[in-house]
Structure 1
Amino acid sequence: MADPARARRLAVRIREVVASTLERGVKDPRLGMVTVTDVRLTPDLVDATVFYTVYGDETARQASAQALESARGLLRSQVGRATGVKVTPTLTFVHDRLPDDAQHLEKLISVARERDAYLAEVRRDARPAGDDDPYRRPRPAAGEVDELSEVDELSEVDEYGGTARQEG
């Protein structure tokens, strides 16, 4: 197992080499606007997974994936020359879904904000249904006894903490 710092440095170097080789060295017409977003290495530095994004629709993504697969040998040899490691890692290309997922989340957040704004607009002039306070009771007059206070006077706490009515 390699040192994690060394693996990170090697991953950064592989990302730079693959990106520059794709820009200058690969002349495949199927290759669209590809951006190498990340490279991850296995702990033994034998396998490298290259994450990439493609600007365009699904057909551009598929064509670029085919172009990357056909240029895998060239890219691996360039990585081997540039890094100087004993064993050049094999390259596996994976389309990075993170930007697409982030864009989808942005759309969902904007829809939620629109709904919140609509509800705030509706709520601004809204009045509660019924009375302002449906639980408010009128106070008893000076000589009247409230029903609840009458029940409180008739009940007492028994030895178990419960209430029992007094027999009167």
Structure 2
Amino acid sequence: MARDYERSQRVASQLQRELADLIRHEIKDPRLGWVTVDDVEVSRDLSVAKVYVSTLEMDRIDTTLEILQGAAPFLRHELGKRLHIRQIPELRFFKDTAIEAGMRITQLLDELKKEEPKDE
């Protein structure tokens, strides 16, 4: 069973690279800004891929997710041409919240430093 997990990790890594390239070069929607594919999680049976994305304009992330979900069949077809696996996973796009969480933690740490009394 350990090999299956390793395979899903390798497939996820390859999907991340290929999706980033496809989104950057093949999707011509003008509403789509700069998109970063931050992470891909593939189910153990390789049937579903959760794709976590972020944009520079996070206030437009909902529009970006709609565009990408609409382009999912096209992206899946193109992945089929590039990858040498029997079944290309169904693509589901999600907002990556890791950056926001990191910024919030940094903000909280900065506030703690300001409140910390200075020893003289």
**TM-score, normalised to structure 2's length?**
0.92
Instruction: Report the structure, 1 or 2, having the larger helix content.
Output: 2
1:18 paired with 2:19, answer yes
1:88-138 alpha-carbon deviations (Å, 9 max, x no partner): 11000011100001001101100101111xx22xx64xxxxxxxxxxxxxx
CA distance in 2, matches of 1:80, 1:57: 30
Q: Secondary structure at the match of 1:3?
A: helix
Deviation at 1:84, TM superposition (A): 2.1
Letter in 2 for 1:102: G
Letter in 2 for 1:45: L
1:111 paired with 2:111, answer yes
Deviation at 1:78, TM superposition (A): 1.4
1:62-87 alpha-carbon deviations (Å, 9 max, x no partner): 22112111111111111222112111
Which residue is equivalent to 2:65? 65
5+ residue gaps, structure 1:
125-168
Letter in 2 for 1:82: R
Higher relative contact order (CA 8 A, sep 6+): 2
Letter in 2 for 1:7: S
5+ residue gaps, structure 2:
none
Which residue is equivalent to 1:91? 91
Runs of 4+ displaced beyond 4 Å? none
Root-mean-square deviation over aligned CA pairs = 1.4
**TM-score, normalised to structure 1's length?**
0.67
1:32-61 alpha-carbon deviations (Å, 9 max, x no partner): 111001111111011010111111141x21
Larger Rg: 1
CA distance in 1, matches of 2:50, 2:15: 10
CA distance in 2, matches of 1:4, 1:111: 41
- Report sequence identity in percent: 26
